[in-house]
Amino acid sequence: MTEEQRKRKSLKKTTPREQEVLHLVLQGLTNKAIAQRLGISDYTARDHVSSLLRKSEVENRAQLIALHISPVRKKKLAAPLHLTDCSVGQQVHN
């Protein structure tokens, strides 16, 4: 199963509340912050996140985020700079 198929499959099975929680997880919020934002208990937020992990067939939040980040955004990420790209410390010789 491709990543895109797995993403679509997991989103079909999620409840509207889980979709809200997923949106907040993608923003980097902790369970406690999610609970406060949605007016639910920390335990309920934890249960929603656990359910999302299970339905998405991933083991942790990082994998969940990687699965649900848009392919367009993945392509826009620039390659990391190399030390030779930096001008700091380079001397100009005349």
The DSSP annotation for 65-87 comes to: HHHHS-HHHHHHPPPPP-GGG--
Which residue from 59, 57, 61 is spatially nearest to 22, judged by alpha carbons? 61
**Domain assignment present for 93:** no
* Range among 33-37, 56-60, 88-92 with highest mean pLDDT value: 33-37
**Domain assignment present for 88:** no
Q: Is 56 exposed, middle or buried (0-12, 13-18, 19+ CB in 10 A)?
A: buried
Expressed as residue numbers, the domain containing 62 is: 3-69
**Domain assignment present for 90:** no
The CATH code of the domain that includes 41 is: 1.10.10.10
**Domain assignment present for 51:** yes
**Domain assignment present for 65:** yes
| Average confidence (pLDDT) over 51-71 | 89
Q: What is the pTM of this model?
A: 0.66
Which residue from 17, 16, 48, 45 is spatially nearest to 32, judged by alpha carbons? 45
